[in-house]
Amino acid sequence: MTMKPDKTTDKTKTTAAQQTVTSLDLLCVDDKEACDVLSYMLLDPRKLDVSMDEAAEQAEKAEKSKDLINARKWYEVAGGLALYEGDTRKVDEYYSEAKRVSGVNYPILRNPDKAVAKAQEYYKKYLHEEKE
């Protein structure tokens, strides 16, 4: 006796996955490039227990010890926190460093001003947090 796959479970999983990206998709509905760029964004950076400066320090330490995978990861975290803080210069700096150590081309580097603007729009709408 073979069991048939439960189609309702598959539909539920698909629906949940679609709902997960809906808020970001709605924010970028008129701009697919912005949505692709924001795929690097931290959805709720308040949950991280590290500051942008600490993440950058960790990246530099990892790089000095030739641990390029962790250096890349920490530069990405620092860049994500810079997005949250609205610091375009730091977004460019940290993602450029991540690119340098990894060779990965980050779409966010094409237009960091636009990425910061879209990220700030998302954070204001979905995190309901007053920024100074």
Higher pLDDT, 33 or 63: 63
Domain count, the chain: 1
Higher pLDDT, 7 or 124: 124
Domain extent, residue 60, equals 32-126
User: Given pLDDT bands bounded at 50, 70 and 90, which one contains residue 12?
Assistant: very low
**Spatial distance between the Cα atoms of 118 and 1, rounded to a whole number of angstroms:** 53
> How many Cβ atoms sit within 10 Å of the Cβ of residue 6?
9
Lowest mean pLDDT among 15-19, 51-55, 76-80: 15-19
User: Given pLDDT bands bounded at 50, 70 and 90, which one contains residue 22?
Assistant: low
Question: How far is C-alpha 41 from the geometric centre of its chain's CA atoms?
Answer: 2
Q: Residue 2: what residue type?
A: T
Residue 59, in any domain of the structure: yes
Q: Residue 125: what residue type?
A: K
Residue 2, in any domain of the structure: no
Residue 19, in any domain of the structure: no
pLDDT digits (tens, 9 = 90+) for 66-118: 999 999 999 999 999 999 999 999 999 999 999 999 999 999 999 899 889 98
pLDDT at position 16 is 46
87-105 core/surface letters (b: 16 or more CB in 10 A; e: else): bbebbbbbbebbbebbeee
Residue 13, in any domain of the structure: no
Residue 114, in any domain of the structure: yes
For residue 88, give the nearest of 60, 44, 127, 120 by alpha carbon: 120
**Spatial distance between the Cα atoms of 28 and 121, rounded to a whole number of angstroms:** 10
Higher pLDDT, 14 or 104: 104
Residue 116, in any domain of the structure: yes
Residue 11, in any domain of the structure: no
User: Given pLDDT bands bounded at 50, 70 and 90, which one contains residue 38?
Assistant: confident
For residue 73, give the nearest of 63, 59, 84, 83 by alpha carbon: 59
